[in-house]
Amino acid sequence: MIKIDGSHGEGGGQIVRTALALSTALQKPFEVDNIRMGRKDSGLKAQHLTCLKALEQLCNAKYSGVSVGSSSLRYIPGELKARKVEVDIGTAGSITLLLQSLLVPCFLAGHPITLKIKGGTSGKWQMPFDYFENVFAPHLGKYADIKTKLDKRGYYPKGGGSVEIRINPLYNLGNRGSAPKISLVEQGTLAQIKGISHASKMLQKANVAERQADSAKSMLLDLGVNVDIRAEYCDTLSPGSGITLWAVFSRNMEPTELDPSVVGSDIIGEKGKPAEEVGSEAAKMLIREIQSKAPVDEHLADNLIPFLAMFGGSIKVSNISSHTRTNIYAAEQFLGKIFEIDENRNIISCKGSKL
């Protein structure tokens, strides 16, 4: 039984989500204690319990004595047999945070899996689903055929968003050693910038989506490449808005499965915050990522770490965040000392593991 200190590093819920993913993929049970120790609302949160319920469907996982506020968790994964998992997180609980516990095992399941999830599609301290679709997913195309569909957006506080993800893995736990390694150390030449500026129909009269998009585009045009930011409105339970931008670096003007290079940025709208400010903040963030000359942005890095642990390789990151270091810690509890960090060049390398 692997034992993990849940207060390590930034001591957030990231350790639990990553441990659940790797435990399920590798079929290694674990125990974690001191969960979110030192936080105002320490212990497990409702989102972690939703992760556990989803994993029950995915692999008939076993766990005991857990509730909101629990400081410890004992988890025993079962065999990955499910071909469809349906989860309703409730309210605006983050869909992409839930995915952090499900994606790695789905990519190594050896058979197709469909995930149908209801909850929040964007919000504070989470990856918007637009970022997942257009920045994160392209980097995983060499390991699975991925089809994503955003059926409905869900904003805080009522949520009500809905997505579907179909994953047809190309590898499994037994043959993952033959999979290509992740190699993202050169940014390449900037080819184009894309984006989605979205808002609920409640904000359409105020032209919020267009104002966010126009503000971002006016700053990004100085980079000398085509800028295409789509503005869209949607029926939602709560009012809200946001913008996700991504820069594509590729010889063929589009990322490919074998050679993707995409960095992104995103900002969520807030009550009382001008739409123009939302757009300009997202643009400034993307410009910083482009100017870093790194092919992996700060938020992409921590999401790639579990896949780097599974398949090996190297990534150059604009900034190595506490979340990224926490994910490295969690991965090494299952796989041993497999990561090396070049602090001077912000390069993270992983030799992978042979199981």
Report the catalytic residues: 323
* Cβ–Cβ under 8 Å, residues 262 and 135: yes
Identity (one letter) of the amino acid at 143? Y
DSSP class of residue 81 equals -
**Angstrom distance (rounded) from CA 14 to CA 48:** 10
Sign of CA dihedral 49, 54, 57, 59: negative
Dihedral angle, C-alpha 128, 129, 135, 139, nearest 10 °: 130
DSSP state letters, 213-278: HHHHHHHHGGGSSEEEEEEEEE--SS--EEEEEEEEE-TTSS--SSS--EEEEEEE--TTS-HHHH
Own/partner pairs, 219-226, CB within 8 angstroms, 24+ separation: 219/280, 219/283, 219/284, 219/287, 220/193, 220/245, 220/283, 220/286, 220/287, 223/190, 223/193, 223/287, 223/290, 225/190, 225/191, 225/192, 225/193, 226/192, 226/193
Identity (one letter) of the amino acid at 51? C
Dihedral angle, C-alpha 250, 255, 261, 262, nearest 10 °: 120
* Cβ–Cβ under 8 Å, residues 200 and 240: yes
Burial (Cβ within 10 Å: 0-12, 13-18, ≥19) of residue 178 = exposed
* Cβ–Cβ under 8 Å, residues 106 and 145: no
Burial (Cβ within 10 Å: 0-12, 13-18, ≥19) of residue 229 = buried
Element containing residue 183 per DSSP (H, E): strand 182-184
- Pull the structure tokens for residue 234: 């949607």
